[in-house]
Amino acid sequence: GAVVSQHPSRVICKSGTSVKIECRSLDFQATTMFWYRQFPKQSLMLMATSNEGSKATYEQGVEKDKFLINHASLTLSTLTVTSAHPEDSSFYICSAEGGTGNTGELFFGEGSRLTVL
Amino acid sequence: SQKIEQNSEALNIQEGKTATLTCNYTNYSPAYLQWYRQDPGRGPVFLLLIRENEKEKRKERLKVTFDTTLKQSLFHITASQPADSATYLCAVYNFNKFYFGSGTKLNVKP
């Protein structure tokens, strides 16, 4: 199946700094990628839909100025958490739809655990 | 918006038995429904997809049913093994978005 790579897998930062998370589709082109946030024992919460070459579409309640998304190419989307605070600590996961056959399945990255001190 | 409900309590079963997990959605009938497996600290992994015009789908020891009248999907793992222990998420696709349930943790005891 298709592979989505996410980096870094873990990051610890100080409050007030910015953190960038990368999501790459390794063997297929992804015109659309999705960014999720997951708290312990809770569901994946869709934050935004990232579209190659255009602005991301954010879900209600997600601050677009705080969570900057850039989808500059068909294989790379980035999520930047700006001016991070402890409440931003979470597990962030990206996904892409596609691969060969377009079966409708989502391919997920391994996730990035963000801890803001 | 769509609300997906899965049993939040862990399901504990004995090895060799069949595990059955439930997913209910509250609003619009999705174009298709999917099941994923998630291990701790990892991203979800796709297992099965079932479309709204399909009642049942099988893949090896896995079986998924889809009842649009009940707004429910059942996910079965037959001859369960300790390696099947994980959290299982269901997801529905509506209006170009995927909505996930909170998952049910399955523990298969040897």
At B98 the pLDDT is 84
Write the CB contacts of A22 (distance below 8 Å, at least 6 apart in sequence): A6, A7, A76, A77, A78
Exposed/middle/buried for residue A45 (C-beta within 10 Å: 0-12, 13-18, 19+): middle
Mutation site, A23, A38, A43, A62, interface B, largest B CB count within 10 A:
A43
Contacts of A113 in chain B (CB under 8 A): 41
pLDDT tens figures, B36-68: 999 998 999 999 999 888 999 999 999 999 998
Q: Which residue, among A52, A53, A57, has the nearest Cα to A98 in the 3D structure? A: A52
Give how far Cα B96 sits from Cα of A56, A68, A113, Å.
14, 21, 27
CB contact under 8 A, B43 and A46: no
- The rounded mean pLDDT for chain A is 90
pLDDT tens figures, A52-94: 888 899 999 999 999 999 998 889 999 999 999 999 999 999 9
Residue B69 backbone class (left: φ over 0; alpha: ψ -120 to 50; beta: rest): alpha
pLDDT tens figures, A86-107: 999 999 999 997 655 556 778 8
Task: State mean pLDDT over B73-87.
Answer: 97
Q: Which residue, among A92, A83, A85, has the nearest Cα to A114 in the 3D structure? A: A92
Would you call A110 an interface residue with chain B, using a CB distance cutoff of 8 Å? yes
C-alpha–C-alpha distance, residues B88 and B36, integer Å: 6
